[in-house]
Structure 1
Amino acid sequence: MNAILDEAYLRLHSTGPEWGDELSNHGPMAAEVLVRRGHAEEVPAWLDAYVRRLDDLPAAREPITDATWPQALSDFGRIGDWVVYFGTQVRERPWREVLATWWPRLLPGIAAGATHGVIRVSHALRTLLAGDESPADAVAVTELAHGLAWWAARSLPVPGPIGPYGGLDAAEALESVPRIPSQQGGLASRFGQLGSLRSFPEALAALRAPADPDDARDRLADLVGAATRKYLTHGHASPVLLVHTATAPNAVLHSLPALPRELWPASLTAAWSASAAILSTYAPVAGAPREVLPEPPTADDPVAELLDRAAATGEEHVIKFTDTAAEVYARSADPDVLAAAVRVRDLLS
């Protein structure tokens, strides 16, 4: 366990997962990326500035039990109760067992907090899977509990989810996603239009179905890559929200090693529905012309340059998206994903 990340988690566990007008607390996620990407020494100062904007974690009000949890699902007013509940769960049972129980319960509400619930869970799992599984050092396990609590308290289903059973690859399937009639208002009001958009379930079904759990993992990786490239041309319409078309499925992809294999196909279905829903509700139909788009960096090590510049911005979405783009580039060597990382930096920093 990196002591700097340990300390960051401890500082952030007294803060709520949201602040202001339902803005998301990205502190734990950005800190994990900075540490993993070799910028640990920058975390304390970054966190000093970041925590000033955050609200305190609301106090618990009424205990959630194994019998009453369905009534508390999607109730953000119970976030303090959910934190206590999951904190107890991970203290009394192995965290992998808790995750295996709750992942299928929470997966239908994957859009929770604009997908930040599953993303925070994933970053905690990366820390745990890197070796911090000792019961004596439960800071990362507690971080997992906070992520699960946020996911539960903000649980938000994608209307009309349908498992993929078509023949399109990820890029083609993203191209087939229709747009809602009016891209106005907040996430909930936009998602509310999806239920009456008859072509949306058809688009969800068009993705090629996975043959087995390993194929589901590969389909997820393809989706992350396609969504990262899509941001290059379409991200300008909503630079923050459209980041999650890539970072949400990437979160699910990184969670798979901690999950039973039989949950992998359903995880692909949920990640695909969330990515498609955000694209439908925030992205324009036509992308920006190529001539106005940035070029990838030309440094000898372009990935290192992008990660260094992302860290220097201190902007949490830039940090997380660049981390995702770097992983896609490692698999594909596609310079467009590096250009997408330049794009997000230009739009948000």
Structure 2
Amino acid sequence: MHFIDLKSQYTALKTDIHARMQTVLDHGQYIMGPEVAELEAALAARVGVPHCITVASGTEALLISLMALDLQPGDEVVTTPFTFAATAEVIVLLGGVPVFVDVEADTGLIDAQQIEAALTPRTRAILPVSLYGQVADMDAIQAVADRHGLPVIEDAAQSFGASLRNAHGTRLSGGLSTLGCTSFFPSKPLGCYGDGGAIFTADAALAQACREIRVHGQSARYTHTRVGVGGRMDTLQCAVVLAKLGRFDWELARRAEVGARYDAAFDAAGVERMRTRPGRTSVHGQYTVQVPARDAVQAALTAQGVPTAVHYPRPMNQQPAYARHATQPTPVADALAERVLSLPMSADLSEADQDRVIATLLKALRG
């Protein structure tokens, strides 16, 4: 059993993937080839924003977005401690200060009700993470940002394809804020075969800044208008994502089905799980439960051939590299870090394998 079944996905898409990659090999434009612009147009249309800028990774998407906002040393960015290191990493790399706000116990998402109290005159942006495949409370976050004139960057590395419905209609992850950043790391809901990512925005000036920054700050060849990075997404990786887009809607539907089967089984058994809030969909970048005595439970599943992972075992404000920024306690994030356990999840997870995961977990919990 695979934690994420990329082999079955490849088998289903093999012909399309090979054809797309062969086209790149034939034309030889490995950097900024035509597939880059094609993918950007397709993704922008899907998310419903005017601009998509492909970049080298989800981390690079966050870094370039902060650079486009001109984050300066000492500027503060309000974010969550319950995330992968990249979220805090890019802030610190630019000399900024991550301000960690605690999370919701049932979702693991940043608690929007605590954000305003964390703002100071040095706050430059708000950076929520759409964890486990579900967007954060972006309406409430945007309301706080609007009151204080702040940009919002959605870290959507795990949530491409997820939606948020409100009085104004339904919008997709990546298109909910000033800038949206996603990742095409192979294990993501929409992944390539290496590193890759994208930035989404409706702001033309920010889009232009991101485009220049990703090519070493060039507005024209050898004209370096701003400080930049080598942040381009390879043409071959864009070709892989283009091949996968044709199956993506089916995969989202299957992920929803797999998630619903897990939900029903665990709710019936009284197993605590991460919740999807009303008005939102989750693409289940991970399917995560909360369990007591996690190490013992995880060991029991491993012994039965059921792969698991922990997202995440230690909040960022407790990590050695970022502990100096731990100015406020985050008890909910601390508690979740001791209990969360992610289970196998992919569009190609069979019912038989899923039933085995469920049965094995329930047995482990019974001791």
TM-score of the two chains, using structure 2 as the length reference: 0.26
The structure richer in helix per residue is 1
> Which structure carries more relative contact order (alpha carbon 8 Å, separation 6+)?
2
The structure richer in strand per residue is 2
> Rg larger in 1 or in 2?
2
TM-score of the two chains, using structure 1 as the length reference: 0.27
